Amino acid sequence: DGGITQSPKYLFRKEGQNVTLSCEQNLNHDAMYWYRQDPGQGLRLIYYSQIVNDFQKGDIAEGYSVSREKKESFPLTVTSAQKNPTAFYLCASSRQGRGTEAFFGQGTRLTVV
Amino acid sequence: AQKVTQAQTEISVVEKEDVTLDCVYETRDTTYYLFWYKQPPSGELVFLIRRNSFDEQNEISGRYSWNFQKSTSSFNFTITASQVVDSAVYFCAPPGGRDDKIIFGKGTRLHILP
């Protein structure tokens, strides 16, 4: 079945450590996105990519980094520069164009301990 | 700049009641799409509906209906005869800017009480 896979589902990190969240899709979508969701909050865009080897900052990119070396994969690294990384992270993908809906993974809940 | 407003942060209704979720989208674009997504407690967002600005006819799908009015920039979502399984956070999502990024409103948390 086609879809988006995020791993791991739960992740614990010590302060000062970098951590990478995985996102893989087999939908052949060009566009991929990372969102952050805090309790009781909406989705805020971290980074997005419309094509391989290219990506753009979203509204809250500071303290995060991404890569898009393959169409299927869009990993997100939460660096030690991110001051408050504990949150729920959602990855999504879509076809190109404004009229296309996004498909989401099940999310990764990151907790800094 | 484009802006989406979901003024209702949280709504609680008793099962079998009807409930309407509001969404107001402000833009200078003359043509655009609007989306609604559902986020159940599991966390994964699920796409519900897409409408374009040319089509103001109501859309009905089972117990769900959507009313889009371009004149008031509103795209409201009504659940008829609500059920406990409808409990979720609902997001109205206008399209992004010229670079096509997808952005979301703050969402409305809906509680259906048994």
Read off the pLDDT of residues A13-60 as tens digits, 9 standing for 90 and up: 998 899 999 999 999 999 999 999 998 788 999 999 999 999 999 999
Could you give the percent of chain A with pLDDT greater than 90? 78
State the DSSP H helix or E strand holding residue B26, giving kind and residue range, or none if neither.
Answer: strand B24-26
pLDDT at B99 > cutoff 70: no
pLDDT score at B62: 86
CB under 8 Å, gap of 24 or more: what pairs does B78-81 form? B78/B18, B78/B19, B78/B20, B78/B21, B79/B18, B79/B19, B79/B20, B79/B21, B79/B110, B80/B18, B81/B16, B81/B17, B81/B18
Whether the Cβ atoms of residue A36 and residue A72 lie closer than 8 Å to each other: no
Q: Tens digit of pLDDT for each residue in B43-58?
A: 999 998 887 777 766 7
Out of A42, A99, A105, closest to residue B105 by CB: A42
Chain B residue at shortest CA distance from A47 = B101
Under the banding of pLDDT at 50, 70 and 90, the label for residue A93 is very high
Tell me the count of A-B CB pairs closer than 8 A: 62
Chain B residue at shortest CA distance from A32 = B101
